[in-house]
């Protein structure tokens, strides 16, 4: 798509904050000139839907506290850059901490409605898989064990995306023992 790139005309001088003296309108230099204005209004493209109307619903500006602000007709409210950064992940830091804290206090499995299936190797668990439904088709969380005798030498944990099949992260614990008592554990997250 070809776009029309335009250069605004400028009149520059040390008295107005410039470093050069341009007494007559001159094209702004895109590699060095800053435009000095209250904000910008962004319009629909020609032939867009709705048609080009020269409205004031999409704005980039600055508030009295110095925050860069954004306004559009869809959100319907002025947002600062700080607001956008805080919600860019789809979750606020406070909401994330709440979920993390719940997870820390749940002894086993995910912190949501779920169903668990355990498979065994003799009397020891081989895997524990948590599913979204009792139909057990979409994974939430998986825990696999590797045993040496009666001690688990590796424990691998996988967390799945909401599609139930994409692995978001894997944490593998490698455990060493002093007799039958755990001595050290190393966790690698990928």
Taking only the tens place, the pLDDT of each residue in 100-132 is 455 554 567 777 788 999 999 999 999 999 999
| Per-residue model confidence (pLDDT) at position 99 | 59
Q: Quick one: 64 and 123 in the same domain?
A: no
**66 Cβ neighbours under 8 A, 6+ residues apart:** none
Shared-domain flag, residues 47 and 31? no
Q: Does any domain span residue 145? A: yes
Same structural domain for residues 26 and 55? no
Do 119 and 185 lie in a common domain? yes
Domain identity same for 123 and 89: no
Residue 87 lies in a domain: yes
The answer to whether 156 touches 141, Cβ cutoff 8 Å, is: no
Q: What is the DSSP string of 45-102?
A: PTT-SSPP---SSSEEEE-TTS-EEEE-TTT-S-EEHHHHHHHTTSS-HHHHHHHHHH
Average pLDDT over all residues of the chain: 82
63 falls within a domain? yes
Around Cβ 142, how many Cβ atoms within 10 Å? 17
Domain containing residue 143: CATH number: 2.40.128.720
Q: What is the mean pLDDT of residues 150-155?
A: 95
Residue 103 belongs to some domain of the structure: no
50 upstream amide cis, omega within 30 of 0: yes
Q: Is residue 81 part of a domain?
A: yes
Looking at the structure, do residues 74 and 19 belong to the same domain, yes or no? Answer: no
Tally of domains in the chain = 3
* Same-domain check for residues 24 and 80: no
121 and 181 both lie in a single domain:
yes
pTM of the model: 0.49
Specify the residue for token string 């950064």: 85
Dihedral angle computed from the Cα positions of residues 120, 122, 126 and 128, in that order, rounded to the nearest 10 degrees: 30
Query: Locate tokens 């979920």: which residue?
Result: 99
Residue 159 lies in a domain: yes
Domain carrying residue 184: 115-189
Its sign, for the CA torsion 12, 14, 20, 23, is positive
pLDDT in tens, 26-47: 888 888 888 878 888 887 777 6
User: Do the domain assignments include residue 146?
Assistant: yes
Q: In this structure, is residue 178 part of a structural domain?
A: yes
Indicate whether 30 and 42 sit together in one domain: no
């Amino acid at each position: 798509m070809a776009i029309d790139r335009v250069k605004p005309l400028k009149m520059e001088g040390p008295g107005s904050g410039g470093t050069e003296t341009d007494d007559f309108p001159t094209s702004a230099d895109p590699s060095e000139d800053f435009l000095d204005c209250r904000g910008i209004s962004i319009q629909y493209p020609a032939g867009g839907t709705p048609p080009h109307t020269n409205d004031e619903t999409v704005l980039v500006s600055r508030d009295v506290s110095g925050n860069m602000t954004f306004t559009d007709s869809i959100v319907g409210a002025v947002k600062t850059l700080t607001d956008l950064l805080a919600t860019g992940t789809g979750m606020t830091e406070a909401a994330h901490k709440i979920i993390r804290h719940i997870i820390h206090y749940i002894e086993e499995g995910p912190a949501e409605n779920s169903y668990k299936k355990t498979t065994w190797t003799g009397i020891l668990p081989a895997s524990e898989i948590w599913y979204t439904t009792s139909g057990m088709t979409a994974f939430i969380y998986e825990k696999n064990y590797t045993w040496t005798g009666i001690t688990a030498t590796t424990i691998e944990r996988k967390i799945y995306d909401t599609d139930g099949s994409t692995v978001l992260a894997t944490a593998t614990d490698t455990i060493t023992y002093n007799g039958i008592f755990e001595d050290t554990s190393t966790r690698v997250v990928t």
